[in-house]
Structure 1
Amino acid sequence: MMVSSRQTGRAEVSAPPAGAPIPLYDFQPPVGTPYGLEVTTIEDFFANHDAWPWSPPHPCRATFHYLIHVTSGVLHHDVDHITRTVTQGQWLWVRPGHTLCFHPPGTARGPFILFEPTVLRAETVRLLAPVTSHDAPAVLTPHPDDAHWAERTALQLLDEHRALGRRPLDLHHALRRSLLEALLLRLAHSPSATTLPPAAPDRRATVYRRFLDALELHFREQHRVDDYARLLGCSVRTLTRAAQDATGTGARQVIDERRLLEARRLLGPARWTARAVAAHLVFPDAADFGRFFRNHTGLTPAAYAARADQQESSSSPGH
């Protein structure tokens, strides 16, 4: 595990050994930052913490949320082994537990907010539940009616964070938390950003949330839509419509994407063989898994693993 000093921005970073699990990073704000919430800017964060886990970049996971708003330039960031491009006006929201990998910030500028899950109140967590699932979008493009408001709120949050000592500590934190919760709720439920459109019927939204819960428990061994319909006590037609309302695709595509995500995680940083992944995800054999993976990615499992190795080697010291 990396040993770091967030005060100096210096760290000793080494590549994880082959086959090692993806390292997990805890929230480590600068000394004196209260209550599990840090607010800074992209440029300041990278300047002050230039060896956090991006120098050289390696996949990792975090126990906390972070939210980045790009006000100018372009930001590239890997979430679950897929490179996301965040352009001016967009937001990147990475939830705890996802596999992530930083790229150099380049020209990107804007607010950078990091916070532990316990910062949010229970009612806020409940209202955010539809957009904190494993397949919630990482890149958000809020509706124009919300975009300007969200940017102003993020800048107010940054100003309040920097004003530590101006007010009593409990009031200071209450203001920061209120601004953060308002920002998250507005972003999460902006019509063009939410995973579950506001117009979706409540019953279908509930079915879809229950489907995601069941999928997370059973994606290894349950691969058919009717398997999940039976688990949920609904018809295949109801489940299909719920998935279409929520994602624009069918339930089968949601199942396949979850299996594919796990396959990428295991073939990439975890260095599993295609045969081991096939057995873990309960494919009949490695050949059947190979066809599934190639049909969805355009690459064989071996080619994907080789590309992941090459990317890691090129980012290691001395390259």
Structure 2
Amino acid sequence: MADRTMQDDDGIRTYAFPVDRSVCGVGMQVGPMEPGRTWHEDAPLDRVHRIDFHVLMLFTGGPVTHMVDFAEYEMTDGDLLWIRPGQVHRFSRASEYRGTVLTMQPGFLPRATVEATGLYRYDLPPLLHPDPAQLAALRAALAQLRREYEDTTTLPLGLHTEVLRHSLTAFLVRLAHLATSSAEAARGQIDTTFTRFRDAVEKDFATNHSVSAYADALGYSRRTLVRAVRAATGQTPKGFIDKRVILEAKRLLAHTDLPIGRVGAAVGFPDAANFSKFFHQHTDTTPAAFRAELR
């Protein structure tokens, strides 16, 4: 059934691409974002869920907040949000989503196009800020794609589908270029000191929460490290470490059935009470309540 849902071991529902809602049953949809839009009649979008297809939202208003993989993103006019298959996300109940939304079923495009457009580059950020020229080109490509999608009378279904694939590819090539160039520009602006610190935290955050220990290991003074991390992220080194620990804890709480004590141990808190206190300080909720909200 096209609107089937699945519930993963972590209790989060995954919603399949709703083929029966597509024009002519093709593997994509494009149209306006509207209040009350849903993937499935039983899918409350303001609850955490997954989808097994791509969603791209180009906004014409805002601000709008949206959670992707437990990070909150704020969009406004001209911003684009790209959610990939399997990512956990949640719509904001308080925001009005205005603009155009494109959804695409995995397998709709050939493998060569998938690779060329980086459809599964989960390392790239979901939120993109095109400049005026890029935005104009993306809007034009998306408008053309929408016209082709809605035109069901001038071509047989097979040719209609092929035209859609070509128009979609043109849009995604532009989008992929924006995503990769934005990521490269961001990397180029980050100080090498921060890059080394970030890589060290990614490697050792589960066992090392000490700013001084990282500074000593990297050969920097604590003051140098503070200056570099603040310039790159606006955070203190301790805040950066804690944020990474919290993200991992959230992932384990959401995606596994590990007891809370073992989740704490996995992120460097052998004592379950200390872990619960740390988690509450940074999230205003307990690990048990956070997990229950997702179930």
The CA distance in 2 between the partners of 1:104 and 1:307, in whole Å, is 18
Alignment partner, residue 38 of structure 1: 29
The CA distance in 2 between the partners of 1:28 and 1:290, in whole Å, is 39
| Equivalent position to 1:264, from 240, 250, 258 | 250
Alignment partner, residue 21 of structure 1: 11
Give 1:60 shift: 1.5
Identity, % of aligned pairs? 26
- Within-5 A mapping of 1:68-79: 68-79=57-68
Q: TM-score, normalised by structure 2?
A: 0.67
Alignment partner, residue 115 of structure 2: 122
Give 1:196 shift: 4.9
Alignment partner, residue 272 of structure 2: 286
Give 1:37 shift: 3.3
What amino acid sits opposite 1:112 in the alignment? Answer: V
2:97 is the alignment partner of 1:108? yes
Give 1:177 shift: 1.5
2:186 is the alignment partner of 1:197? yes
Alignment partner, residue 61 of structure 1: 50
Give 1:269 shift: 8.6
The CA distance in 2 between the partners of 1:241 and 1:292, in whole Å, is 25
What amino acid sits opposite 1:124 in the alignment? Answer: T
Unaligned runs of 5+ in 1: 314-319
The CA distance in 1 between the partners of 2:184 and 2:235, in whole Å, is 12
The CA distance in 2 between the partners of 1:68 and 1:37, in whole Å, is 14
Change in Cα spacing, 1:252 to 1:60, as seen in structure 2 (3 Å) is: same
Residues 125-165 of structure 1: per-residue CA shift (max 9 Å, x gap): 29x84xx32xx543333333433333333222222322355
- Report the secondary structure of 1:170's partner residue: helix
| Equivalent position to 1:161, from 132, 149, 154 | 149
Give 1:23 shift: 2.3
Change in Cα spacing, 1:153 to 1:264, as seen in structure 2 (3 Å) is: same
Q: Do the aligned residues in 2 keep the contact of 1:150 with 1:186 (CA within 8 Å)?
A: no
The CA distance in 1 between the partners of 2:189 and 2:56, in whole Å, is 26
Q: Do the aligned residues in 2 keep the contact of 1:154 with 1:183 (CA within 8 Å)?
A: no
What amino acid sits opposite 1:296 in the alignment? Answer: H
The CA distance in 1 between the partners of 2:205 and 2:52, in whole Å, is 23
Residues 112-136 of structure 1: per-residue CA shift (max 9 Å, x gap): 112345544323329x84xx32xx5
Q: Do the aligned residues in 1 keep the contact of 2:117 with 2:172 (CA within 8 Å)?
A: no
Residues 156-205 of structure 1: per-residue CA shift (max 9 Å, x gap): 22223223554553343122212222133225534xxx47526459x96x
Q: Do the aligned residues in 2 keep the contact of 1:160 with 1:176 (CA within 8 Å)?
A: no
The CA distance in 2 between the partners of 1:44 and 1:71, in whole Å, is 14
Change in Cα spacing, 1:219 to 1:115, as seen in structure 2 (3 Å) is: farther
2:175 is the alignment partner of 1:183? yes
Give 1:46 shift: 1.1
What amino acid sits opposite 1:184 in the alignment? Answer: A
The CA distance in 1 between the partners of 2:184 and 2:226, in whole Å, is 16
- Report the secondary structure of 2:37's partner residue: helix
| Equivalent position to 1:149, from 137, 140, 143 | 137
